[in-house]
Structure 1
């Protein structure tokens, strides 16, 4: 079982990977520790400064559309955002997020409001999303065991290293 709790930060439909991290920033560097401060800057200036502790992104349809660049998922993970809830995800972003250890949940997000306190639990019964501010809960299907193990390991590279018995950095 894994559980995350934190405030919801809400975005709309069609959040493009270039909104998550602008292309102009990627020309200078691909270092996530530098890029993470520019998360969502074109659609929500100063968003980086709103983040404090565990944060949960909430969006509408087609989150992560646009290019298939992995750095858009890496910037999310680099900002301690372990969960994204959305009505739907672009397929390439969906897989990039899982490969970076981000829990992706497709569900109806229309009842979740900005700064609602959310608790997300992934266990053997699937994924439970609780809006503690509104006392609502939704049970969503879980992942195939292989994908769940990648998420729980912190991403695909960490998962492979664990399977091979290697230490980080090898």
Structure 2
């Protein structure tokens, strides 16, 4: 899986209420509506700045807080191709994979806002084309790559009738 887009950088401990505020996630399940509000508590104009395929880049502990699936789903529906962070809250990490949103762990300190990135999940490499550097990413297990390629866990189960490890 090859992804490319622009970096939108945030700091450490971005919790799920910053990703999608409770004032929205408790009012609607309409993902298009939720997607318009992704990250707005940290950047009110975020939805206007992104282009399909862009990346959210963060520090440590991205996705801490509640375990609701609306956070990764809203990110995905906003057109973000992946979240790149130094580390993730574990429940957010699993919810992201299950909903088909790639989550990439690596050192993000050499990535600046606006940098053009390319991620090769299969090769385990993030290329910062703006700064002409490569960053090794924590490889995803093969089954997780398969789930992501299938569009998430539900799509994977529909396709194979259960887990397919081949």
Common fold, TM-score beyond 0.5? yes
Q: What's the TM-score once normalised by structure 1's chain length?
A: 0.91
Partner of 2:49: 50
Secondary structure of 2:143's counterpart equals helix
Q: Identify the residue that residue 7 of structure 2 maps to in structure 1.
A: 8
| Count of aligned pairs between the two proteins | 162
The Cα offsets for residues 50-69 of structure 1, whole Å up to 9 and x where unpaired, read as 11221111000100000000
Q: Secondary structure at the match of 2:134?
A: strand
State the match for 2:33 in structure 1: 34
Q: How does 1:39-118 map to 2 (within 5 A)?
A: 39-118=38-117
Query: What is residue 158 of structure 2 aligned with on the other side?
Result: 161
Partner of 2:22: 23
Q: Which residue of 2 aligns with 1:168?
A: none
Native 8 Å contact 1:82 1:101 kept in 2:
no
Give the whole-Å Cα distance in 2 for the aligned partners of 1:5 and 1:16. 25
| 1:143 equivalent in alignment to 2:132 | no
2:28 and 2:48 map into 1 onto residues whose CA distance is 21
**Aligned-pair CA distance for 1:105:** 1.2
1:70 positional shift:
0.4
Q: Distance in 1 between matches of 2:155 and 2:144?
A: 13
Alignment RMSD (CA, Å): 1.3
Q: What are the ranges of 5 or more consecutive residues in structure 2 without an aligned counterpart? A: none
Q: Secondary structure at the match of 1:120?
A: strand
Q: Structure 1 segments of 4 or more deviating over 2 A? A: none
- Which sits farther off after the overlay, 112-121 or 20-29? 20-29
The CA deviation at 1:156 is 0.6
